[in-house]
């Protein structure tokens, strides 16, 4: 996996230090990264929160009721540099006919 998360967080800290030089303990962290099991490997993956919905007709009243659901969608590629995120995990997957 690429180092975009680490590099961007370091750049954000530097930007914050320039903006608030008298402050101390500057920190920055990209959110929407979570651990996922890909193949046999636990990896840190970026994801995007999603919200979707549809109108459902209530059978008793006949009224349409809008229902929404929330979820997450994991990226297959780094959203910053475009590097594939599954190739490391795929390299460790057993090949067809090979015992795990
Ligand atoms: Zn990247």
Domain boundary assignment for the chain = 4-92
Residue 41: pLDDT above 90? no
pTM listed for this prediction: 0.71
With residue 65 as reference, give the H or E element that holds it. Answer: strand 64-74
Report the share of the chain in percent with pLDDT over 90: 73
The answer to whether the beta carbons of residues 53 and 66 sit under 8 Å apart is yes
Span from the CA of 42 to the centroid of ligand 1 (angstroms) = 18
The Cβ of residue 77 has, within 10 Å, a number of other Cβ atoms equal to 13
Dump pLDDT digits (tens) for 43-77: 899 999 999 999 999 999 999 999 999 999 999 99
| Stretch 19-41: mean pLDDT | 93
**DSSP symbol at 14:** H
The answer to whether the beta carbons of residues 55 and 26 sit under 8 Å apart is no
Query: Of residues 57 and 95, which shows the higher confidence score?
Result: 57
What residues are neighbours of ligand 1 (ion), with CB under 5 Å?
Answer: 2, 4, 78, 80-81
């Amino acid at each position: 996996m690429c180092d975009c998360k680490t590099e961007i967080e370091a750049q954000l800290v530097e930007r914050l230090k320039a903006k608030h030089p008298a402050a101390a303990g500057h920190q920055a962290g990209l959110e929407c990264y979570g651990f996922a099991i890909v193949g046999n490997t636990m990896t840190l993956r970026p994801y995007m929160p999603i919200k979707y919905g549809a109108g459902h007709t209530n059978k008793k009243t006949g009224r349409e009721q809008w229902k929404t659901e929330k979820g997450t969608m994991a990226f297959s590629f780094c959203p910053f540099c475009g590097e594939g995120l599954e190739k490391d995990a795929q390299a460790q997957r057993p090949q067809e006919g090979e015992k795990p």
